[in-house]
Amino acid sequence: MTLVKEEVCRELDFYNRTEEEQNDFLAMTWCNDCQEMDLGMEDPKEYYSDSRHWIAGKCKVCKTEVITEIQEGDEE
């Protein structure tokens, strides 16, 4: 997975979300290294750019970076 470096991205405060949302995002993950879902993530950081909105954290099991894309509506 590659991030486009040229794209301007801003960091948002993940902890502005409700506790319920935080728990959901921290629990619902996919780890490419473990090849397993819902292992959980820690150290979450939320980012937003013109084309993407995502949360990046570390897999609780192997500590590799895991990314959860946030889909907001069906905007193309």
Footprint of Zn ion on 46-65 (CB under 5 A): 59, 61-62
| Cβ–Cβ < 8 Å for 57, 43 | yes
Which parts of the chain are beta strand (E)? 9-12, 30-31, 36-37, 41-49, 53-59, 65-69
Q: Which is nearer to Zn ion, 49 or 64 (CB)?
A: 64
> What is the residue whose two structure tokens read 């629990």?
27
Footprint of Zn ion on 8-37 (CB under 5 A): 31, 33-34
CB of 65 to Zn ion, least distance (A): 9
Please report, as ranges, the residues that interact with Zn ion according to CB under 5 A: 31, 33-34, 59, 61-62
